[in-house]
Copies of this chain bind each other. A is one copy, B any other.
Amino acid sequence: MTSRTHKNERRAGQLSKDRIVDSAIAILDAEGEGALTFRVLAARLATGAGAIYWHVADKQDLLAAATDHVIGEAFAVVAGRSDPRATIRAIASAVFDAIDRRPWVGAQLSRNPLQDAGLRIFERVGEQIEAFGVPEPAQFNAATAILSLILGLAGQYASALDHVSTGIGRTAFLESVAARWAVLDPDLYPFVRRIAAQLSGHDDRAQFLAGIDLILAGIAAGGKGGAFERG
């Protein structure tokens, strides 16, 4: 019965930051952000709650590591296009897909934008901004704008998905929001009222990328002098 049970069996029981983060991700994926507790995490790892603190500074550190892991994985499969514009769209797409699969990633990104995962996105975007031909002094602003848009959309999308997960389906949720919007005071909220009709049918991913395109168009337009010729 215990044949084949050598010391690796023990090794598998060893704690490590990686194992902790993997377990945390499994819990977050399966039951959402509210379910991640040091107690249930410890139970799943068959250890004491305090043991986790040997490998992880605190809960924020754990969530940051989990988010960084997911974003790192998402970026690993983003092939670099020759066109910087297409590459930036691919980066944004990868982030969108990661959030679509795991709403907690979006929540974490928008809550703590300056941590590892955010820096990873910033770097990727910035490299393409440079490849796009944006002059040095403008690169910081341009990359920050795109990063901010991604994070802002991440927060909105994650928050919407959050509501969806707590009960009704996506279209039912959108319809309930649309119904609430359609009933606002027309003097105070003329725009939102009018837009409500488009809510149910709209495509989140397309809207996400449309925003990116607007900034890219603005960057391109800013270089009227020819400074942004593809090169």
Chain A, range 78-110, C-beta contacts under 8 Å to B = 107, 110
A153 at the interface (CB under 8 A from B): yes
Q: Is A62 an interface residue (CB 8 A)?
A: no
Pick from B148, B159, B222: contact of A156, CB below 8 A. B148
Q: For the complex, count residues of A whose C-beta is within 8 A of B.
A: 55
Residues of B within 8 A of A154 (CB): 152
Task: Please pick, from B127, B207, B221, the residue contacting A218 in the complex, using a CB distance under 8 A.
Answer: B221
A18-51 CB contacts (< 8 Å) to partner B: none
With a cutoff of 8 Å between Cβ atoms, the chain B residues found around residue A149 in the complex are 145, 148-149, 152, 211
B114 touches A156 (CB 8 A): yes
Find the B residue at minimum CB distance from A163: B114
Q: A120 CA to B176 CA in the complex, in Å? A: 18
| A211 and B159 contact, CB distance less than 8 A | no
Chain B residues in 8 Å Cβ range of A152: 110, 113, 147-155
Q: Across the interface, do A211 and B141 meet the contact criterion of CB distance under 8 Å?
A: yes
* Cross-chain contact B207 with A141 (CB below 8 angstroms): yes
Within 8 A of B (CB), among A194-208: 195, 198, 202, 207
Q: Is A217 an interface residue (CB 8 A)?
A: yes
Flag if B140 contacts A207 (CB, 8 Å): yes
Q: Chain A contact residues: over half helix, strand or loop, or mixed?
A: helix
Q: CA of A124 to CA of B147 in the docked complex: distance in angstroms?
A: 23
Residues of chain B with a CB closer than 8 A to A126's CB: 191-192, 195
**Residue in A144, A195, A221 whose Cβ sees the most chain B Cβ within 10 Å:** A144
Chain A residues at the B interface, C-beta cutoff of 8 Å: 107, 110-114, 119, 122-123, 126-127, 129-130, 139-145, 147-156, 159-160, 177, 181, 188-192, 195, 198, 202, 207, 210-211, 213-222
Beyond known contacts A126-B195, A214-B218: 6 more, CB 8 A cutoff: A111-B159, A114-B156, A114-B159, A114-B160, A130-B191, A155-B155
A-B contact pairs, 25 of them (CB 8 A): A110-B152, A111-B111, A113-B152, A113-B156, A114-B156, A123-B189, A123-B191, A123-B192, A126-B191, A139-B191, A140-B198, A141-B207, A143-B195, A144-B156, A144-B207, A145-B149, A148-B153, A148-B156, A149-B149, A150-B152, A151-B152, A214-B218, A215-B218, A217-B218, A218-B218
